[in-house]
Amino acid sequence: EAQVTQNPRYLITVTGKKLTVTCSQNMNHEYMSWYRQDPGLGLRQIYYSMNVEVTDKGDVPEGYKVSRKEKRNFPLILESPSPNQTSLYFCASSGRLVLNEQFFGPGTRLTVL
Amino acid sequence: AQTVTQSQPEMSVQEAETVTLSCTYDTSESDYYLFWYKQPPSRQMILVIRQEAYKQQNATENRFSVNFQKAAKSFSLKISDSQLGDAAMYFCAYRSENGNEKLTFGTGTRLTIIP
């Protein structure tokens, strides 16, 4: 089954404790992206990757890091989480065709205390 | 930068009736793509319908159709014969033809279906 998986689905942590949210897709997609969803703001892009070893900032990259060492994986790293990073996070991927649908993961609910 | 505006935070409709969700956007580009996504309580993002800006014909997917007005930069979603399973948050999204495949989302409209 074609899918994007994220782990963990739920995470409660404390300020300053480094964490990683994993994202993996099994569709051989070149493009992957991270979004955060906040009430009243919709979804906003954090980082994206056009292919292996090619990453770039989205609209709200502060406080986040990413890496793309393998085509299928695109982890999101919070080196020192803060309460304002409490949010719902989505990973998405798509192939090269112009109007290819972006497939979204199931979301990760992160709470930073 | 492109912006997407959904001016209706909440909407409700009687089951089996028709409802229209509004979306406007701002862009200086001539070629782009527009989408409607549905987010049910499960939080999964589900693509409902998409429209290429160069196509004049409005997209249709079963009970879902759009009214795309390029000059007015308007992209509304019509849901016909509303069903209980249509209850969800609906997001309008814009994607440029060039560069980053970023989706720029509106703030969403929460749709309630009244039995």
Would you state the pLDDT for residue B69?
96
| Residue pLDDT, tens place only, A10-43 | 999 999 999 999 999 999 999 999 999 999 999 9
- The average pLDDT across B60-76 equals 96
Q: Decide if B94 contacts B32 (C-beta within 8 A).
A: yes
pLDDT for the residue B97: 82
Residue B54 or A97, more confident: B54
Q: CA A52, CA B59: separation in Å to the nearest integer?
A: 34
Token digits for A19?
């964490």
Given a cut of 90, is residue B56 above it in pLDDT? no
pLDDT of residue A95: 83
pLDDT classification of A100: cutoffs 50, 70, 90: low
Contact B100 A56 (CB under 8 A): yes
When pLDDT is cut at 50, 70 and 90, the band that residue A98 belongs to is: low
Please provide the average confidence, as pLDDT, over all residues in chain A. Answer: 94
Q: Residues 37 to 76 of B: which have CB under 8 A from any A CB?
A: 42-45, 47, 50, 52
CB-nearest to B107 from A41, A45, A50 is A41
Contact of A10 with A106, CB cutoff 8 Å: no
Banded pLDDT at B17 (limits 50, 70, 90): very high
At B1, the pLDDT band (50, 70, 90 cuts) reads confident
C-alpha–C-alpha distance, residues A31 and A98, integer Å:
12
Return mean pLDDT, chain B. 95
E strand intervals along chain B: 3-5, 10-14, 19-21, 24-26, 32-39, 46-52, 60-61, 64-69, 74-79, 88-96, 103-105, 109-114
Question: Average pLDDT in the A65-84 region?
Answer: 97
Identify the pLDDT of residue B68: 97
Q: Which two tokens stand for residue B65?
A: 């159709």
| Strands in chain A per DSSP E | 4-7, 10-13, 19-25, 31-38, 42-51, 54-57, 65-66, 76-78, 87-94, 103-104, 108-112
Taking the C-alpha atoms of residue A44 and residue A26, their distance in angstroms, rounded to an integer, is: 24
Cβ–Cβ below 8 Å for A102 and B107: no
Q: Report residue B54 as tokens.
A: 């160069």
DSSP for A81-99, please give it. --GGG-EEEEEEEE-SSTT
Please name the residues between 28 and 87 in chain A that touch chain B, using a CB distance below 8 Å. 31, 33, 35, 40-45, 48, 50, 56, 58-59
Over 80: is that where the pLDDT of A96 sits? no
